[in-house]
Structure formats: C-alpha cells, structure tokens
A and B are shown apart, each in its own frame.
Chain A
Amino acid sequence: MLLGLFSSGAPGAERPAGEFSAPQRDYILACGGCHGLQGVSNANLVPSLQGLVGYFLNLPEGRAYLPRLPNIAFSTLDDEQLAAVLNYMVFDIGAGSAPAAARPYGAAEVGELRKQPLTEVTLTAYRRQLVETLVSRYRAPVALRGYGAATP
C-alpha cells in the first residue's frame, strides 16, 4: 500500500521511511521531535538517549526519575502505553546501557510513579546528582553529564 501510494511520484518524490511498532510510533510522536528519531538529540538542549538512558535504571531513584519527568508523567498516553514507550526508550533506543538484571517497566508501576511528577525540584540539578552517582559508581560514560555531548 505504501509503495503503491508513493512510488508513482515525480523524481525526488518523498517516500516514507517505513512502518513503526506502536511504542516506537508513540515515542516518535511524543519524544522524537527533540530527543531525535533514534535518540540522538541536539545535546545543547535535551539529553541524548541512544546507548545512554538505560544507566538510570542502576538506581531506584533513577528508575523512578524517568516516568516522573514532567513531559513523561503528563503524557496523554495511558499507563500501559507509557510503560511500553519507556521500555522501548530504555531497552531499544538505550540498548546496551541498562543493567543486565533490569526489569521492564510495568503499567501499574508507571501509573504510580507518574502521580509524583518532578515538579518541585530543579530538574537539571536533580539529574546532575543522579548522573554523578552513575558515573562514579556504575561506570556510566561521562558523556551522560553533558546531555550526551562528547565533552562534558
């Protein structure tokens, strides 16, 4: 259907990149504009996720941190869809960064955590504190400090 629709266009006609799984599509629609379609962001603005975001699951506060981020907690997705997006983000986009024993997020867990959004903290300072622990104790790459930029 896709090819049929778009292959008849003029030279240089645009073709869609393809089909997405449901969590991948939801990630692209709600997160990908800033964090990048493959999780590589403009690191001056928002953190890169590719190969990095899973490190947060080394700490209980880090695991809770992701669903408590305001734009995740306030998402229009329901708990189950949101848990699926978080798992896609951590285990697919962040592949190789989560600890081997990390469990996937569950809908009930995400439902509880998103009721406690991180609205009463300075987010950048809160994140920096988590990242320092991850770098010093869990061998997270220093790139995590600078939102994924090469130099922290």
Chain B
Amino acid sequence: MIEMNVDYEKLREIPKEINEKFFLANDDKNLEINNESFSEVYLIKLEDGEKRDINFDFKQFNGVAKVILLIGEGCNVNIRKIVRATGENVASIDFLTLVDKNSKVNMNDLVFSKDYSRIEFFERVFSLREGNNIKINAKAISKDKSKTFFEAFAFVDKNSGKSKFNIKEEGIIFDNSKLEFLPKLKIENNEVTAGHSAFIKKFNENDLFYLMSRGLNLDGAQKLLLEGFLSEFEIGVDEIY
C-alpha cells in the first residue's frame, strides 16, 4: 500500500511548464487510451465553477498510468472510467483526485479483467475543504483466472468542514478468479458524513432460476444478470463474456 504524502499547497500552484507539458486540451471530453502499453502521467485541471463530464476508457490496457485530477471550487463533475484488461495483460492505474471546496463530484468506475489478466486500480480522492459532495460508484468483474485489486480511498482533510463522501463498491467474480477490495476511509474531521460499502456477490440463485424458468439457459441467464449489473456503463455484455 503506498501512502501518499501530498503537499496540497504546492499542488495547487502548479508550475506553468508542467501545465503545458502534460495538460490535456480542456476541450477533450473523452479520453480514450488505446495503447498497448505505456507509462504516463496525465494531469487534468478543472477551473473553479466548471461543469464537466469526463470519460476515461482504458481498452485492452497493458501498462501503467497515473492520472491526477484537480477539481477547483464550485465545480460539478461527472467522471466515468472504464478499465479493461484481457489476455495476460497487466494494468496498473492510479487516479488521484483533489477536490477543493463546494464541488460536486460523481465517479462511476468499471473495472473488468478476463483471460489471465491483472488489474490494479487505485481511486484516491482527497477532499480538501468544505462543502464537497463526493460519490464514488465502482463495479468490478473478474473472470477467467484474472485478478482485480481495487482500492477506493477517501481522505477527508482536517479543514474539510461540512462535506459528504460516499463510496460504493460492487464486485462479481467468476470461477478461478480473484477480487480484492480495499475501501479505505481516512477522516480527519468530524463535520463530514462518510460512508462506504462493498458488496461482493455471486449470482442470486433465485434470480437465475426465474430467468431460466423462462427458457434461458445458464449462460444466457448469467449474461442477462451481468447486463443488469453493468447497466449504467453502456457496455455490451459480449465484451466481457
């Protein structure tokens, strides 16, 4: 487990050169990272008051990526991240998000690994000052002897005043695979309401029976249930299955 020692003040005044070097055009709403392998750091900064939807899609990913997201004051951001790994690939993805104050942040993460692949996913969100409302909704699927490690870390700073923080992780694993969840909370102030929940489940026997009693075979029923599980991500089930 890597402990991050972050000097918030320094990070807030990012030197101009770094900005220009790593900054992704603010016009880019969608980031599709298709490369077979790379190791990069992305820095994305949202100005005060910005309202944005950002989508990250790491397809067929093999490599290491770090993304630093700075969210200013009074922002309203919806972030969607999809990470897929297959065929013995190993993906290590580290998202560090710093939220200033009075911002609303909604994160939807989907991580799935299949065919002997491995995914290490770190979602670390730091709430720095008051008035933030942060929700992280994460879903993880691991199948075909794959392994997924998902850390969702919520850090609430001492000065974080009245804030809300909620993490929900849900996971499904198929035979011979592994899933590791680490829903971590570090709260340094008591005005915050924080909660996190993690559910790992197998397909409900009764749900399966119901679908199969309508003629679907086991495979078909499982696919339908998975589709239900993934509904907000608009991903074809066939891509996972």
Q: Do A and B bind each other?
A: no
B residues whose Cβ falls under 8 Å from a Cβ of A:
none
A residues whose Cβ falls under 8 Å from a Cβ of B:
none
